[in-house]
Amino acid sequence: MHGSTRPVFLNLLQIRLPVAGVLSIAHRVSGVLLFLALPLLIGLLELALSGEAGFARVAALLHGVGGWTARFLLSWALLHHLLAGVRYLLIDADLGVQAPLYRQSAWAVLAGAPLLALLLAGGLG
């Protein structure tokens, strides 16, 4: 970019990103979120394994507003990353590369992940 006189316009609030671009950014955001959550998840696993008191403590932590929010957010991150990842693998295999399909599948993942996360966060009690 150095020395170039081409106009650069990177205002993220005004760029109209195609849906596949939104999906790509969300793929990275969800990946980084899962990466940052590693110590939290490992800590919960260790606590739940530590004995029945620790297990009950984890169950209590996962309930409540904070627990539900964390569960929903991480469920979304996992499901989005998983579904978008499957979509990328299919596109790598030349499946669903064509014009309407790649856009429809991007919409399906963007909408499907939070819905499934809601189901998961609600269902895992």
Partner 1 sequence: MTARRLAGFRAWLWQRATAVYVGLFAIYLLGRLATAPFESAAGLRRWLSGTTVWVAFGLFVVAVLLHAWIGVRDVILDYVKPPALRLALLAAVMLFLAGNGLWLAAILMEVR
Residues that bind partner 1 (CB under 8 A): 28, 31-32, 34-35, 38-39, 42, 45-46, 48-52, 54-55, 78, 82, 85-86, 89, 92, 120, 123-125
Long-range contacts of 57-60 (CB under 8 A, 24+ apart): none
Give which of 46, 48, 64 is closest to 56, Cα–Cα: 48
Whose structure tokens read 């929903």?
72
Residue number, 64 or 122, with CB nearest to partner 1: 122
Sign of CA pseudo-dihedral 11, 78, 94, 104: negative
Shortest distance (Å) from residue 100 CB to partner 1: 25
Shortest distance (Å) from residue 14 CB to partner 1: 20
Shortest distance (Å) from residue 119 CB to partner 1: 9
Residue number, 9 or 35, with CB nearest to partner 1: 35
Residue number, 13 or 38, with CB nearest to partner 1: 38
Residue number, 7 or 123, with CB nearest to partner 1: 123
Contact between 17 and 99 under an 8 Å Cβ cutoff? The reply is no
- CA atoms of 23 and 6, how far apart (whole Å): 27
Phi, psi of 119, rounded to the nearest 5 degrees: -60, -45
Shortest distance (Å) from residue 87 CB to partner 1: 12
